[in-house]
Structure 1
Amino acid sequence: MHLPHPSEIQSICILRLSALGDVCNLVPAVRFIQQQYPHIHITWVIGQAESNLLEGLEGVEFVVYAKKQGWQGLRSLRRQLAGRHFDILLHMQAALRASAVSLAIPARVRLGFDRDRAKDGQWMFSNCRIEPHSRSHVLEGFLDFVNRLGIDTKGPLCWNIPIPQSARESALKINGNHRPYMIVSPCSTQRTRNYRNWPAEKYAEVIRYAFQKWGLYTILTGGSSEVELEYAEMLQLLTPEPAIVNTIGKTDLKTLLALIDDAVTVIAPDSGPVHMATALETPAIGLYASSNPQRTGPYRSQQWVVNRYPDAVERYLGKEVSQVGWGERVRHPNVMDMISVAQVEERLNELLKVHELK
């Protein structure tokens, strides 16, 4: 299908419901559209938590889809979009649920991923596709949509995710005199057979090391799931006062952004906080063994990643990285044990020699 020139486009609807890290990676694509064609009205159909994270992003109208409400949420979305029509839908989530949601978005041009990246049959829900781009990062995949529209994405990446003053004040109350500090967000989102969490005992060793060698405090962050609360309790038992401040289950996403913005670094597995750090230009030490950091790692902190993914592919899949799918995960319960404390401490030392303590 022929795509109109960007100068002829009046309205774009972006469909990307989740997750926190992915919506962070999508923001630069939005900024390129806004920078070069500010007349285009951008509507973004998004999940509730993700909307909370990006709230206030100038020039973007957020329409929240209540994922947990199922068909009722879909009917609500239809009501919100009733009577509207978009020039182009950017279907930027290759998942069956997102494709079902796309049917509620009225648009003549429905741009989706190329056939290789159009997972869960997404290609059936689009009438136009982006160009193939093998072995690309998730962020680059979003930029491919903008490129397909004929918009240049060769300039510097820009995020400018708003952080309200109230969130900065909350962060200041949390960190208090605990400066300089690093963020440790020990857990990723729980999914079936998705083993991305590093053992709490190993985190504790790194936290003690950072405090004793560098005088670096740790602020623990995370949600209120049972696993995260267990990590918080264990890490408090294994680390001396006042080395850590526990905020797991106690902060909202804007306050988390404020904490990350003022941190020396973020240490976390493949999860939202490493991508939030990227957006805020805070270096992130990503812990990767079950997933490929070249695809899902912190985009601007690849040099700080502890990458055991190639070794995990060899040990648990009996293959080389070049022999497995680009997005293939290593689903073994012991895969994250391949990352040693010494490797993380080494990255921390290297990073602190480059970045001054705040």
Structure 2
Amino acid sequence: MRDRILVIQLARLGDLVQTVPFLKDLRHNYQDSRIALLCQKKLVPLARMIEGLDEVIPFPLDDFLSSPDDRGGTIPHLWDFLRPLFQQKYPMVLNLNYSLISALAAEGLCEPQGEIIGNFLGADGRVLKRSSWFNFIGSFSSRRRLNPFNLVDVFRYLIPGERNDLYPMLRLDNENSWHRRSDKPLVVFLLGAGAKKRQWPVFNFVKLAKLLQKKTGVIIALVGSKKDRALSRIFARRSTADFVDLVGKLDLVELCRVLKEACLVIGSDTGPLHLAAALNTRTLGLYFGPAWVHETGPYGEGHTVFQVDVPCGPCLDRGICKEYLCRKVITPDLVAPEAIKLITGDKTEDPPIPDSLHLYVSQSDGKTTRYIKKRGNKAESDTQVVRNIYRYLASRFFHFPDQEKQASLGNTGGLVKDITYALYCLNHDYLGFSVGPFFEPWIRFVYSYRDTREEIRGMLTAGFDSVFEYLKDSANPF
């Protein structure tokens, strides 16, 4: 009996926002259950705005990690924080974080005969394990360009069931809306980012503000956390635009009100950008460095993203980059015309963009969101075919919704050749075959998920049979 369900989401603001559609689906499918959310203490005000939650449990993650004694961040110290929570047990725990902290919390909060879904500790209590769906998604870690699954959809399809309507995602009291000093259209600039590699230079925002106000007469609101105040001071010194500086001055509820009133929110892949999308406000994303639009593009219909595509990307948040070449690709002169179209609805001539830049627009049917290329180098088309193939595989082997076959897949002769070779090897019981990099995630997943030789052979064969069927029925496969 799943009368009580716990969801664990201990990651940052953006991850919590991207969990909201999953929580709405969960409520839709378990209407008689009591649903609780364990999240970071500082995010509790936002969590309490999520539709369908019965309880929000705060976890002082920052206090644990920054504890002044010599045990701060250690496992014995962790139990001091978790032990008060263990008075309540749940028959079903959904752990969305791949971390030791969340896995230990899941073990302690789950009933002895209960079920942990998502990420959990192995039988030895040391190794982190994943449910099959998360394991499949994890197989793209070394081939991120091939990953077609938005993080929101990764969460939503962890368990089977019907999908709920996306909006409204958050309960926001309209009576206490943010009052601004102008009737001009409001555009929000997100100056900062969670990682330096994701941060668009503040001088670009200064030039963008000048270009937008010259053409549209908007008022600009600067938004960010307290650590972004240095950026807002630079903006104030360099800009002559009409703006209001709200950096470090808003709590989460006030931030929601500002984002809700905006006609457009512009920024990199950061929490407030996803929060704006959750509030059904149009966004314009600037993605480079570790950010990859197919993984973490703003969820929902009609969002626009500039995506830099260079050989070294997408990279990781950690690590040092000496040149930051990708940040130089997206310029204010490229962003301004697209932003003006989104603000005014007027059609303007599109300036040419470099080969290393793509412009994507989101499409959503309420069940999934995907990004379709609007402008950019067409050499990426083969990779897009493979992304479509993996969405099709997900619909055959997991809870992912059925995917329509593409009317035309372009030149897929190389893919068919690889599949034919793989099936030949499998039919002759040879598992040591090697195919192109496009199918590496599928092979990695099968080898990590299945144990016996017969299981591995059977699932590989089923996968490649499905792909061959997908390709042969499409127009011009050879």
**TM-score grouping bracket, smaller chain normalisation:** 0.7 to 0.9
Are 2:148 and 1:143 aligned?
A: no
**1 CA distance for matches of 2:285 and 2:126?**
32
How far does residue 156 in structure 1 lie from its aligned partner after superposition?
Answer: 3.6
Q: What is the SS of the residue equivalent to 1:177?
A: coil
Are the equivalent residues in 2 in contact too, given 1:224–1:249 (CA < 8 A)? yes
Of 166, 179, 182, 2:184 maps to 179
Q: Which structure's CA Rg is the greater one? A: 2
Shift of residue 126 of structure 1? 5.3
Matched, 1:293 2:288: no
- Please state how far the C-alpha of 1:346 moved relative to its aligned partner: 2.5
Q: Report the equivalent of 1:4.
A: none
CA contact (8 A) 2:186 2:220 kept: yes
Q: Does 1:223 align with 2:225?
A: yes
CA contact (8 A) 2:223 2:248 kept: yes
The alpha-carbon deviation at position 167 of structure 1 amounts to 4.9
Tell me which moved more, 54-63 or 9-18. 54-63
Residue 99 (structure 1) aligned to one of 77, 100, 103:
103
For 2:176 and 2:48, locate their aligned partners in 1 and report how far apart those are by CA, in whole Å: 12
* Residue 164 of structure 1 pairs with residue 164 of structure 2: no
- Evaluate the alpha carbon distance shift between residue 329 and residue 286 of structure 1 in structure 2; reply closer, same or farther with a 3 A threshold: farther
Question: CA offset at residue 162 of structure 1?
Answer: 1.9
Q: CA deviation at 1:22?
A: 1.1
Change (3 A) 1:122 1:98: farther
- 1:130 corresponds in structure 2 to 133
Deviations 1:171-220 (A, max 9, x none): 21xx2215211111110124xxx511111111011111111210111000
How far residue 337 of structure 1 moved from its aligned partner, in angstroms, is 2.1
Could you tell me which residue of structure 1 aligns to residue 57 of structure 2?
Answer: 63
What is the DSSP-based 3-state SS (H/G/I as helix, E as strand, rest coil) of the residue aligned with 1:305?
strand
- After superposition, residues 34-49 of structure 1 pair within 5 angstroms as 34-49=27-42
What is the TM-score with the length of structure 1 in the denominator?
A: 0.80
Q: Quick check: 2:8–2:95 contact (8 Å CA) kept in 1?
A: yes
Shift of residue 51, structure 1, vs aligned partner: 1.5
* Post-superposition CA distance 1:314-358 (Å, at most 9, x none): 1xx2xxx7xx79x88896352322211122112202312449xxx
* Offset, 1:112: 1.4
Structure 1 distance, partners of 2:317, 2:194, is: 17
Higher relative contact order (CA 8 A, sep 6+): 1
Distance 1:122 1:166, change over 3 A: farther
Counterpart contact for 2:95–2:116, Cα < 8 Å: yes
**Cα distance in 2 between the residues matched to 1:152 and 1:179:** 41
- Which whole-Å CA distance do the structure 1 matches of 2:272 and 2:15 have between them? 11
Retained in 1: the 8 A contact 2:46–2:252? yes
Listed one character per residue, the Cα deviations across residues 233-281 of structure 1 (whole Å, up to 9, x for unaligned) are: 011112225x110010111111110011010110111101111111111
Q: Which residue of structure 2 lines up, in the alignment, with residue 22 of structure 1? A: 15
Q: Is the 8 A contact 1:18 1:50 kept in 2?
A: no
Deviation at 1:164, TM superposition (A): 3.5
Structure 2 residues not aligned, in runs of 5+: 65-75, 141-146, 347-478
- Alignment partners' CA distance in 1, 2:317 and 2:203: 28
Q: Tell me what 1:199 maps to.
A: 201
What letter is aligned with 1:341?
P
Question: Secondary structure at 2:108's aligned position in 1?
Answer: coil
SS in 2 for 1:163: coil
Amino acid at match of 2:339: L
User: Kindly tell me: are residues 305 and 263 of structure 1, through their superposed partners in 2, closer, same or farther at Cα, counting changes over 3 Å?
Assistant: same
Letter in 2 for 1:289: F
Q: Quote the residue 2:472 is aligned against.
A: none
Corresponding position: 1:112 with 2:123? no
Question: What SS is found at the alignment partner of 2:267?
Answer: strand
Quick check: 1:110–1:128 contact (8 Å CA) kept in 2?
Answer: no
Paired position in structure 2 for 1:88? 92
- For 2:214 and 2:173, locate their aligned partners in 1 and report how far apart those are by CA, in whole Å: 34
Local SS of the residue matching 2:226: coil
- The range that moved more, 243-252 or 132-141, is 132-141
Question: What RMSD over aligned residues (CA atoms) do the two structures have, in Å?
Answer: 2.9
The alpha carbon displacement at 1:58 in A equals 4.4
Q: Percent identity?
A: 18
Conserved? CA contact 2:202–2:234, under 8 Å:
yes
Asked if the contact 1:267–1:285 (Cα under 8 Å) also holds between the matched residues in 2, the reply is yes
SS at match of 1:176: coil
Mean CA deviation greater in 200-209 or 121-130: 121-130
User: In 2 relative to 1, CA 346–127 (structure 1 residues): closer, same or farther, beyond 3 Å?
Assistant: closer
Going from structure 1 to structure 2, the CA distance change for 1:235 and 1:31 (only over 3 Å counts) comes to same
CA contact (8 A) 1:185 1:267 kept: yes
Q: Could you list the per-position Cα deviations for residues 122-163 of structure 1 after superposition, in whole angstroms to 9, with x for gaps in the alignment?
A: 994558543635621110111122xx2x3123x542343122
* Alignment deviations for residues 18-73 of structure 1 (CA, whole Å, 9 cap, x no partner): 21111111111111121232111111110022222222434421111101222656
Report whether the alignment pairs 1:79 with 2:73.
no
Distance 1:54 1:105, change over 3 A: same
Gap change, CA 1:91 and 1:350, over 3 Å in 2: same
Please report the TM-score for the alignment, with normalisation by the length of structure 2.
Answer: 0.61
Structure 1 residues without counterparts, runs of 5 or longer: 1-7
